Homo-oligomer: A and B are copies of this chain.
Amino acid sequence: MKKEVKDILSKYLEQNKMRKTVERFAVLDAAYSFDTCFTMEELKTLLEYRSFPISRATLYNSLKLFKRLKLIICHKLQQGTKYEAALSINSNCHQICTLCGKVSKIDSKEISSIVWNTRLKRFHMDSFSLYVYGMCSNCVAKQTRKRNRNNKRRVQTN
């Protein structure tokens, strides 16, 4: 895990007179070990695998804290809640496959700049999330193969 991330948590805990517990740092480290989105269950499993069994309550508490510190972001998707390590990001764009649920980042400075420069009515923006829905190329290919098989079968039975 990046030292930077640990330091942010450490500093925040000091400044707010909160305790530097082993659990908080273990959860943060685990969260930053995934190179993509993870679920609460996956996080719990990883920690158990690392011989650090932890209660759900503590996981939820820690993640709530990390969210506030912008050390992670939380996606409430149709297929359930996913978390993602993301240092101090206040704008994020993701593409989500509606078939397999895969989530990947989109990098676009144009989108960011347009959104930040949008004039909002009676509102003060401090972050945004963009979710693009559709199908990943894997699922498109899978669907095409399936369609081809069905067409063949139809031809054969005719």
Residues on A facing B (Cβ under 8 Å) = 74, 76-78, 95, 97-98, 104, 106, 108, 110-111, 114-115, 118, 120-138, 140
- Contacting pair A134 B130 (CB below 8 A): no
Cβ–Cβ < 8 Å partners of A74 in chain B: 78
Q: Is the CB of A123 within 8 A of B128?
A: no
Instruction: Please tell me how many copies of the chain the complex holds.
Output: 2
Query: Cβ of A118: which chain B residues have Cβ within 8 Å of it?
Result: 106, 108, 110-111, 132
SS of A interface (majority): strand
The residue of chain B having its C-beta at the shortest distance from the C-beta of A127 within the complex is B133
Contact of A135 (CB < 8 Å), options: B123, B135, B136: B123
Q: Given A76-B78, A111-B115, are A133 and B125 also a contact pair (CB < 8 Å)? A: yes
In the bound complex, what is the Cα–Cα distance between A110 and B114 (angstroms)? 7
Give Cα distance in the complex from A77 to B104, angstroms. 20
Are B134's CB and A125's CB within 8 A?
yes
